[in-house]
A = this chain, B = another copy of it.
Amino acid sequence: MTKEELLEALEQFDSEDLTTALKAAEASRKTRRQGAYFLQNFFEETRVQGDERGTEITMPITPLVMNPGHMAHGGVIAFLCDNAMGMASFMEKQRPGVTMDLTVRYHKPLRGSFATARGEVVSSGSRINSTRCECRDETGTLVATATGSFYHFR
């Protein structure tokens, strides 16, 4: 579709839908211009800490990431924990890696306006790092914990 056709199609939607559409357009443009990848930008993940002690990432909890129970979808929490642990592992190894496995335990429903996941490296090998993560809501309540292992190519 041409740009004109796309805009014409968008005119048919309510402002609620267009608000979401605008977010998606912004995330798409940010990805093209600044790198990273679409979902990280669309979910508005922000790294608030990243040093040798660990990585902390926040994410707003909006209807975009909720399940029918009006709490954050478990898969989104898994996504956030994966990113916090993967980034912690990358910071420790200083080279790219891939998730080998991921275990998430859900303790409480995640509601409120944002979540913070803090990942850290528990044990570091030559290729494989073992990590853990705590995910808290805006009041500091622990809503999920995760562990994961990451493989870093030489």
Contact = CB atoms under 8 A, between A and B. Distances in A.
Contact of A75 (B13, B68, B80): B80
Nearest to A109: B98
B13 A10 contact: no
B28 A9 contact: no
A83 interface: yes
B38 A20 contact: yes
A145 B22 CA distance: 35
B78 A147 contact: no
Given A78-B79, A103-B147, A105-B101, A19 B1 contact: yes
Interface in A117-137: 122-123, 125, 128, 130, 132
A38 B64 contact: yes
14 contacts: A7-B7, A16-B28, A20-B24, A23-B24, A39-B65, A69-B96, A74-B102, A78-B79, A100-B149, A101-B103, A101-B105, A102-B103, A103-B104, A107-B123
